Amino acid sequence: MNAIISASELMKELAGANPPVLLDVRWQLSTARAAGAPPFDGRAEYAAGHLPGAVYVDLDRELASAPGGRGRHPLPDVAEFGAAMRRAGVSSGRPVVAYDGGQGWAAARAWWLLHWTGHPNVRVLDGGLPAWEAPLSTDVPAPEEGDFAPSPGASGLLDADGAAALARSGVLFDARAGERYRGEVEPIDPVGGHIPGAVSAPTTDNVTADGRFLPAGELGARFRTLGATEGDEVGVYCGSGVSGAHEVLALAVAGIPAALYVGSWSEWSSDPSRPVAVGPDPQ
């Protein structure tokens, strides 16, 4: 099963016998509040126009629990996540397609959570809303309650200790911008730098200028160049487990399974006992 779907493929599936459930997960990481500007409002964007039949999903409230010591976007309570997905109409026997405003990060967070908790058929709309060329809708659907019962997988998830170990025994990718990895700037978290041993692999390099993923072969070549050779265990982290999910998705497109450290740098950097590396060298 492919992890992504094109807009043209999605149109055909929506007209088919078992159309996918559509999740609108528009969200942006915003530092606007610090400057006194209003934060991004995904629900308002949804209300202004969305794919026909799509249900809005709030990343901060339904795909994460409250921020704190486990990071800015810790794992949601599994029971609450399952209830939110069922309210959105998600069932195990029906495919799911998540999309966002085009960056792909938020949709990938929904994809990763559903995949990790056992949904057999979930994909991300490649290129997000900008790739959709058909009319949008302002109608808010009332989907029939779904039956999805999340069952978290035994693999695919890293905690802080697991991420630190994987940076030594396998490959741990840091999906943030290179300047944050090197510790040159840190606009959000208390400390700049990276987990010792992690390799800089900005998720922005996995997509083209229009936000669509590079072809699978190019992604595979990129990750191999960065050190992910066959048989290696691979993990990813970012700032708070959102853009990192997008990199896990890119790895899946390339055919490389990878685990996600959900707490990511926002959790790691909040603990002063954990080591921090700076500069371009992983160590």
238: annotated active-site residue: yes
Three-class secondary structure of residue 195 per DSSP: coil
Say which of 5, 98, 238, 262 is annotated catalytic: 238
Rounded-to-integer distance, Cα 56 and Cα 211, Å: 21
Task: State both tokens at 163.
Answer: 């991420």
Rounded-to-integer distance, Cα 131 and Cα 145, Å: 29
Residue 209: count of CB within 10 angstroms of its CB: 5
Residue 231: count of CB within 10 angstroms of its CB: 6
Residue with tokens 């002063």: 272
Rounded-to-integer distance, Cα 142 and Cα 215, Å: 36
Q: Which helix (H) or strand (E) holds 210?
A: none
Residues annotated as catalytic (active site), given as ranges: 238
